[in-house]
Amino acid sequence: MSERQYKTVHFTLNGKPVEKNVDVRASLTDMLRNDYRMTSVKKGCEVGECGACTVIIDGEAFDSCIYLAVWAEGKSITTLEGLLGPNGELSDIQQAFIDETAIQCGFCSPGFILSAWEILNTGKEYTDDELRKLLSGHLCRCTGYENIFRAVKKTMLRRLGKEEEAEKVGEQGIVDTDERRIFASLDPTVQA
Ligand code: FES
Ligand code: FES
């Protein structure tokens, strides 16, 4: 394709109907960042490996770097900005990431939080192994994962009305070697 071709896409972004004329080769990441200033959508590997660019499309978490902008036609897309309440209040999972110090540089955080949002919205209680596997599509270079895992697990338990159990998560303060092993299989910088 030597000449640029454009197409108009109509979709819902964080609850608001929008339309945009986009280059048919543009990724959803680029459209969201460049045209809508949704800078929570991070550009990491850009090949679907790290999860930094995750957004929610019709209720499911996707890597937006490997999703063409034109495929957004008719879809409902949510970015991290869309999780805020009407007056800018943080959602429970965002607050949990802060409370558990699950954020350091923050580059991976929007993607992790959106995948967690999808997981939590199922309303199910997952085992530790299931939770780790569900989150394993994301790479973090800073936190070592334990804090992220704790934030998601605590929020899951709280939503299920298990406040007491939630408070006990991570009480032992010990690094879970199985957890590190699962993430290490995806991230060579993590020592199992
Ligand atoms: S930037 Fe999309 S998966 Fe890494
Ligand atoms: S907090 Fe830095 S990459 Fe995860």
Distance (angstroms) between ligand 2 centre and the Cα of 106 equals 5
Choose one of 97, 109, 113, 138 to mutate for the ligand 2 pocket test, by most ligand atoms within 8 angstroms of C-beta: 109
Domains and CATH numbers, the chain: 6-80 (3.10.20.30), 92-184 (1.10.150.120)
Res 1: pLDDT: 52
How far is it, in rounded angstroms, from Cα 155 to Cα 26?
35
Res 2: pLDDT: 57
How far is it, in rounded angstroms, from Cα 11 to Cα 73?
5
CB 43 less than 6 A from any atom of ligand 1: yes
Distance (angstroms) between ligand 2 centre and the Cα of 15 equals 28
Asked if the model's pLDDT at residue 65 lies above 50, the reply is yes
* pLDDT tens sequence across 135-190: 999 999 998 799 999 999 999 999 999 999 999 998 765 445 454 444 544 444 44
Q: 48 is written with which tokens? A: 């679907």
| Residue 17, amino acid | P
Distance (angstroms) between ligand 1 centre and the Cα of 168 equals 33
Distance (angstroms) between ligand 2 centre and the Cα of 107 equals 5
Asked if the model's pLDDT at residue 50 lies above 50, the reply is yes
How far is it, in rounded angstroms, from Cα 61 to Cα 59?
7
Choose one of 53, 136, 140, 186 to mutate for the ligand 1 pocket test, by most ligand atoms within 8 angstroms of C-beta: 53
Res 94: pLDDT: 98
Q: 70 is written with which tokens? A: 């034109």
Q: 83 is written with which tokens? A: 């999780």
Q: Which residues of 115-136 are buried (b: 16+ CB within 10 A; e: fewer)?
A: bbbbbbeeeeebeeeebbebbb
What distance separates the 2 farthest-apart alpha carbons in the chain?
Answer: 61
Asked if the model's pLDDT at residue 40 lies above 50, the reply is yes
> pTM for the full model?
0.89
Coil/strand/helix, residue 165: helix
Mean pLDDT of 84-104: 96
